[in-house]
Amino acid sequence: MMGIQPNLLNQLVSLLLGASVAGVLIFFMSSDGIGAGPSTPGISSWVNGTMAVPVAPAQEANHTSASKVDGVASPLEASHNTSQAAEDELERLLRTVADEHKTVIMTSVNEAWAAEGSLLDLFLESFRAGERIAHFVDHLLVVALDAGALERCRAVHPHCYLLPPVAGGNKNLSDEKVFMSKDYLDLVWSKVRLQQRILELGYNFLFTDVDIMWFRDPFERMSVAAHMVASSDFYFGDPYSPVNAPNTGFLYVRSSARMVGVFEAWRTARLSFPGKHEQQVFNEIKFELVDKRGLRVQFLDTVHNAGFCNNTRDFNTLYTMHANCCVGLAAKLHDLGNLMKEWRAYRGMDDAQRRRGPVRWKVPGICIH
């Protein structure tokens, strides 16, 4: 360097310093992931009922560094952690609640339905007042649709599960939902999503709406040959004919790959029938499911598994009673409460009184006439 002119020397030093600064900037930019392609987040465990997809190691490192500030998880990571915690809790509860055949009885409630003196209390009372069915409560999973329902459920029942909200859905499911409103539709379709997940985990389920009173063991009326057993709003005599009008508020399903596919098709069909609830969509596609997927559905006779839609009123033959064809929480509570009082009176009769003929309830109601 002894022979280089001063002006040339200054230019060379400036060039070297500029290159060094640029190199440092490039290093820090690459370390923070700036300019790199977007990382791929894990898929939520509730999307299409599948388990979470792990992030690739290199992407996970980028995702972790970009998603935490001072050790605080980003909303995306927090959501993923919450979904995984819900999945773990569901699996734990299913193992606890399932019977020796891996069958779970389940119902769902929001805060309005779970409130003291509301449908959940009446539903649980029906097991205690029924004929040799109190033990079914040990295998009952109550799905809470909001935090208020979860708190109330835990006060009256040991097996309660908080359903994670659907992405983009309404966060407030605590109030009574008007029939066929958007909130109502989101609520009933979230039920199908959970049912599919339970099947994927290898468990059979009997879903029962909370406005169904249990009086006797409904499994006695179910065929082992059926993949699915549904109650009927209207029954026309052939238990395997899809002509019957199903009510998916009382639904037994055996776990299998076939049934997981049926539920996937059912949920996908929602897009083809916008504005319809899950039972209406099932009614639209039931013939196709039978013909193309080999689905065997047993429809229960309304003589045994009845509802307000029909006129079955003989306690001697009754297994369950559904407050269908009845709109409004107050109306359901009024009529089911009267029905429970008369059932208790029936239970107090001796065998001779019961054998004399049909034992019908006498009290007219808001929906029962």
Q: What is the pLDDT of residues 51-96, one digit of tens each?
A: 333 333 333 333 334 445 555 566 667 666 778 888 999 999 999 9
Strand 72-73 and strand 228-234: the pairing is unpaired
Cβ distance 145 to 109 under 8 Å? yes
Report the C-alpha gap between 184 and 267 in whole angstroms: 16
Please list the residues that pair with 109 across neighbouring strands: 144
Report the C-alpha gap between 265 and 115 in whole angstroms: 35
Instruction: State the amino acid at position 347 in one-letter form.
Output: R
Please list the residues that pair with 350 across neighbouring strands: none
Per the prediction, the chain carries an average pLDDT of 80
DSSP string, 275-308: T--HHHHHHHHHHHHHHHH---EEEPPTTTEEET
Would 223 be classed as within a structural domain?
Answer: yes
Cβ distance 136 to 163 under 8 Å? no
Report the C-alpha gap between 207 and 140 in whole angstroms: 10
Closest by Cα among 241, 253, 239 to 195: 253
Would 48 be classed as within a structural domain?
Answer: no
Instruction: Write the CATH number for 206.
Output: 3.90.550
Strand 103-109 and strand 204-208: the pairing is parallel
Question: What was the pLDDT predicted at 247?
Answer: 95
Q: Tell me which residue range forms the domain holding 222.
A: 76-304
Would 39 be classed as within a structural domain?
Answer: no
- The first and second tokens of residue 266, run together, are 């059912």
pLDDT < 50: residue spans in the chain? 1-67, 168-170, 173-177
Other Cβ atoms within 10 Å of 180 Cβ, number: 13
SS3 356: coil
Burial class of residue 192, CB neighbours in 10 A (0-12, 13-18, 19+)? buried
Closest by Cα among 69, 93, 67 to 80: 67
- The first and second tokens of residue 336, run together, are 């089911």
Q: Which residues contact 9 (CB under 8 A, 6 or more apart)?
A: 1
Cβ distance 210 to 107 under 8 Å? yes
The CA distances from residue 232 to 62, 82, 261, 310, in Å, are 54, 37, 23, 10
Please list the residues that pair with 72 across neighbouring strands: 69
How much is the CA Rg of the chain, to the nearest whole Å?
29
Q: Which residues contact 180 (CB under 8 A, 6 or more apart)?
A: 275, 277
Would 314 be classed as within a structural domain?
Answer: no
* Number of domains, the chain: 1
- The first and second tokens of residue 353, run together, are 């009184």
Digit-coded pLDDT (tens) for 2-30: 444 444 434 433 434 444 434 433 333 33
Would 361 be classed as within a structural domain?
Answer: no
Would 292 be classed as within a structural domain?
Answer: yes
